[in-house]
Amino acid sequence: MAVTVDIVALTLRAGALHVLLVERGGPPFRGAWALPGGFVRAGRESLDEAAARELAEETGLDATQLRRVHLEQLGSYGDPGRDPRMPVVTVAYLAFAPDLPEARGGGDATAAAWVPVGALALGEPDAARPRPPHQGPGRGIDGGDSAPRTPADRTPGPGVAEAPLPLAFDHARIVADGLDRARAKIEYTPLATAFLGTEFTIVELRGVYESIWGSPLHAGNFHRKVLSVPGFVEATGATASRGGARGGPRARLYRAGDARLLHPALLRPEESAR
């Protein structure tokens, strides 16, 4: 049995939530898109070190930049047949940070790309999915070499809906679990600020919540809720360099506070929590 790590790396690009994917250069699933990851160097690195190494290889982040990345274990996955080569247990990680650089293929990946999460073929997260009693080896995208269209080649013709992008192995399940974790954690922790720079406006913070939850929020209510949570954010005393789109005074700048938990929590709108 082998042990691997896989990383669900999330960032905001042009106001939309994106996940880092790599195109596999070798079997199994040659040409398919998957999460960045690889085998743990047994006896030479910890799981956390392996995850940080794989993330750095695919993004070009150096040691200083990696310190800005929030990285936590998401879960372990070891269903029989998840990897057609041998029994493989993977420890998945969730990572997010602001302004992550352009992706680059590293290791056995021929390409890498930031892909909008809305373009992926994802199922229900584990919390909402009945577990099958047995999972055998898959076929096609789930168990052998296959070559789905790349993100750059997925422009549909006139009047044709764009098909969701499938993922290799059980990575659709892992991404779904990562998104579910991220959506839940920003309810009761201040980790939404990890998607932003050291200084930000409440409007920018609201944009993080809207992108991750996939639901618009009432601007005034959100502003009041954020400022009512002790230690969530703190004012810097400065203002943004430019005013809003409609003119008016420049927005105040804030930084992350020292709270570890949000009390009261910022609960998702019911429609985005379903």
Q: Over the stretch 175-201, which tens digit does the pLDDT of each residue have?
A: 999 999 999 999 999 999 999 999 999
Mean local confidence (pLDDT), 214-237? 96
271 close to 260: Cβ distance less than 8 angstroms:
no
Q: What is the CA radius of gyration of the chain?
A: 20
pTM of the predicted structure, to 2 decimals: 0.82
Q: Are 108 and 23 in contact (CB under 8 A)?
A: no
Q: Please, are residues 97 and 69 in contact by the beta-carbon 8 Å criterion?
A: yes
Give the pLDDT confidence score for residue 151 in this predicted structure: 56
- Which amino acid is it at 104? R
Mean pLDDT for the stretch of residues 22-50: 91
Higher pLDDT, 189 or 153: 189
How far is residue 187's CA from residue 182's CA, in Å, rounded to a whole number? 9
59 with 103: CB under 8 angstroms?
A: yes
Residue that the structure tokens 């650089």 belong to: 101
The H-assigned helical ranges of the chain are 47-59, 63-66, 171-188, 202-213, 219-228, 270-273
Q: Burial of 66 by CB count in 10 Å (0-12 exposed, 13-18 middle, 19+ buried)? A: middle
Rounded to 5, what percent of the chain is helix, strand, coil?
A: 30, 30, 45
Confidence (pLDDT) at 106:
62
Task: Provide the pLDDT for residue 222.
Answer: 97
Distance of CA 98 to the CA centre of its chain: 12
Across 233-262, average pLDDT? 86
User: Tell me: the pLDDT tens digits for 114-135?
Assistant: 999 999 988 666 655 544 343 3
